[in-house]
Amino acid sequence: MADDLILLNLWSSPFGMRVRIALAEKGLDYELIEEDLSNKSPLLLKMNPVRKQIPVLIHKGRPICESLIIVQYIDEVWRHKSPLLPSDPYARAKSRFWADYVDKNIYAIGKLVWGATGEIQEAAKKELIEWFKVLEGEVGDKPYFGGDSFGIVDVALIPFYSWFYAVETCGNFSIVAECPKLVSWAKRCMERESVSKSLPDQYKMYCFLLELKTKFQAQ
Partner 1 sequence: MAEEVKLFGMWGSPFSRRIEIALKLKGVSYEYIEEDLQNKSPLLLKYNPVHKKVPVLLHNGKPIAESIVILEYIEETWKTNPIWPADPYERAIARFWAKFFDDKCGLAAWNACWAEEKEKEKAMEEASECLKTLEGELKDKKFFGGDKVGMVDIVAIFIAFWLRVLQEVVGADLLTPEKFPALFKWSEELVGCPIIKENLPPRDRLIILFRARLESSK
List residues binding partner 1 (CB under 8 A).
50-51, 59, 62, 64-66, 69-70, 72-73, 76-77, 89-90, 92-94, 96-97, 100-101, 134
The CB-of-171 to partner 1 minimum distance in angstroms stands at: 23
Q: Rounded to whole angstroms, how far apart are CA atoms 169 and 171?
A: 6
How many CA atoms are closer than 13 Å to the CA of 153, on its beta-carbon side? 25
Beta strands in 12-83 (DSSP E): 31-34, 56-59, 62-65
How many CA atoms are closer than 13 Å to the CA of 216, on its beta-carbon side? 12
- 72 versus 162: smaller Cβ distance to partner 1: 72
Q: Are 199 and 190 in contact (CB under 8 A)?
A: yes
- 32 versus 134: smaller Cβ distance to partner 1: 134
- 137 versus 180: smaller Cβ distance to partner 1: 137
The CB-of-58 to partner 1 minimum distance in angstroms stands at: 12
The CB-of-51 to partner 1 minimum distance in angstroms stands at: 7
Q: Rounded to whole angstroms, how far apart are CA atoms 59 and 4?
A: 6
The CB-of-88 to partner 1 minimum distance in angstroms stands at: 9
- 182 versus 209: smaller Cβ distance to partner 1: 182
